[in-house]
Amino acid sequence: MTSTRRPAPAKPRLTDAVVALRRPHFRRFFFAALTSNSGTWLQGIATPYVLFTITGEARWVGFGTFAMMVPMAIMGIPGGPLADRIPRQRILAITQTLMAGTAMAMALLWWNGVRTPWAYLGVAVVHGIINGFNMPAWQAFVSDLVPRSELMNAITLNSAQFNAARAIGPAIGGVVLASAGPGWSFAGNAISYFVVVGVLLTLPALMPGDPPERDSFLNQFRDGMRYARDHVSIRTIYLSAAILAVCGGTLVSSHLVVFSERVFEVDEGEFGLLVSAFGIGSIIVTPWIAARGPLHKRSTLIVSGFLLYGVGELLLTSTTIYLVGFIGVMLAGAAHITSATTNNSTLQLLVDEEMRGRVMGMYLMVLTMSMPLGATVETILADQFGVRPVVTVMGAIMLGFGAWLKLSGAIESADADAR
């Protein structure tokens, strides 16, 4: 009698976590991006430090986030369709070069003794405009570098390098900030952009399929909105992204500098390490997500991420002990990559190729509009009531939203749709 039992599925190997790195184009882009994004975090901790040091008010840190993110969101309207029209690497080569210029402008402002926050906000606006064209192309470009079967792994690794940079960059940035000042933090970021530019200029032309029919950016954007509206899974992912940005993304961009100054009372180097804790948490959980994440329901990963995020934020707000707060930020970092990466990879698997740039552009618009609005309101409230109560509410919202996703089943349609 012949056995009808199916063979047990092979256990995931460690090499499965990095399968996309076997693709030479993706591998070169990955390591260039890791270098550049580490440089970005030199500026990422220098900017809130400068604004908070100049003014002594948390709200100016929120204004800095607003000044950069809102223009970025608005420019996502033409940026998404543009990423579907022309080679994405061409867009990236241009935007990366221009953003090197804005970083150098920040350095020159500091070196020339400019100490008004409005000058730095002005440069942040210009940077945000450029980044509005950069980010949709960046997100969609990953799909140009690997076959569809490796797309989730590539997206996970792309998120991993962002978060590895979030661990490496602030740690280096804290040392640079303490020893050489903000000017060199900005200058270091400017230099790092050209690593990505060099790789982009040496890759062959990559453009999947035929470009879409030429239509106005507004009409293409409307097509993207209708496409998203007709897919409940996409709408739910957009909502998840908004909550993640308002109650999670602002933790690093706006609140940790205030925790360092007012709660833990530590110096610039320890502030940089506290920001690094977020990236360290992400790095720790990334191999598991890359190798074993595909074995689990996407809805389970997203819900788990929200719940863990809430726990991490509540742990941070419950203490005045730096090490305990460090652990709380690590948990938040692990949660962030779990939810954000799964959101991103699910969306990329849901979307048709001809709509990819527009759908990803709107996804980034949701993120970049939600974060500055949240940061502005939260930092004003932090000046009024203190940063700990504000982040406590953020953590509670994370827990509540995760519970709602699970109990309502709102995210579970993505499990079937993104196959």
pLDDT digits (tens, 9 = 90+) for 180-199: 999 999 999 999 999 999 99
How far apart CA 375 and CA 108 sit, in angstroms, is 27
pLDDT-derived band of residue 403, with 50, 70 and 90 as boundaries? very high
3 state SS of 86: coil
Most confident range (mean pLDDT) of 53-67, 345-359, 384-398 is 384-398
How far apart CA 74 and CA 150 sit, in angstroms, is 31
Alpha helices, DSSP H, located in 180-321: 182-202, 217-229, 232-244, 250, 256-258, 268-292, 298-317
> What is the predicted pLDDT for the residue at 247?
95
- State the average pLDDT over residues 302-315: 95
Most confident range (mean pLDDT) of 155-159, 275-279, 362-366, 379-383 is 379-383
> What is the predicted pLDDT for the residue at 246?
95
Question: Does any domain span residue 9?
Answer: no
Q: Write down how long the chain is.
A: 419
Q: Which domain holds residue 220?
A: 18-206+215-417
Question: Does any domain span residue 156?
Answer: yes
Asked which of 39-48, 107-116, 138-147 is least confident by mean pLDDT, the reply is 138-147
> What is the predicted pLDDT for the residue at 185?
95
Question: Does any domain span residue 3?
Answer: no
Report yes or no: 159 and 293 within 8 Å, Cβ to Cβ. Answer: no
Contacts of 400 (CB under 8 A, 6+ apart): 310
pLDDT-derived band of residue 12, with 50, 70 and 90 as boundaries? low
Question: Does any domain span residue 251?
Answer: yes
How far apart CA 79 and CA 72 sit, in angstroms, is 9
- 20-35 pLDDT per residue, tens: 898 999 999 999 999 9
> What is the predicted pLDDT for the residue at 242?
95
> What is the predicted pLDDT for the residue at 6?
47
> What is the predicted pLDDT for the residue at 256?
93
User: Where is pLDDT greater, at 96 or 215?
Assistant: 96
Report yes or no: 411 and 405 within 8 Å, Cβ to Cβ. Answer: yes
- 325-373 pLDDT per residue, tens: 999 999 999 999 888 888 887 887 777 777 777 787 788 888 888 988 9
Domains held by the chain: number: 1
pLDDT-derived band of residue 82, with 50, 70 and 90 as boundaries? confident
Contacts of 92 (CB under 8 A, 6+ apart): 134, 137, 138, 141, 196, 200
- State the average pLDDT over residues 260-270: 91
Question: Does any domain span residue 11?
Answer: no
> Considering only CA atoms, which of 280, 281, 258, 282 is closest in space to residue 271?
258
Average pLDDT, the chain: 86
Question: Does any domain span residue 1?
Answer: no
Question: Does any domain span residue 264?
Answer: yes
How far apart CA 365 and CA 39 sit, in angstroms, is 24
> Considering only CA atoms, which of 69, 61, 45, 118 is closest in space to residue 378?
61
Asked which of 98-102, 221-225, 263-267, 330-334 is least confident by mean pLDDT, the reply is 221-225
Q: What is the DSSP string of 387-416?
A: HHHHHHHHHHHHHHHHHHHHHH-TTTHHHH
CATH number, domain with residue 319: 1.20.1250.20
290-313 in b/e form (b: 16+ CB < 10 A) is bbebeeeebbbbbbbbbbbbbbbb
Question: Does any domain span residue 6?
Answer: no
3 state SS of 179: helix
**Which tokens hold the place of 268?**
């610039």
Q: What is the pTM of this model?
A: 0.76
User: Where is pLDDT greater, at 250 or 163?
Assistant: 250
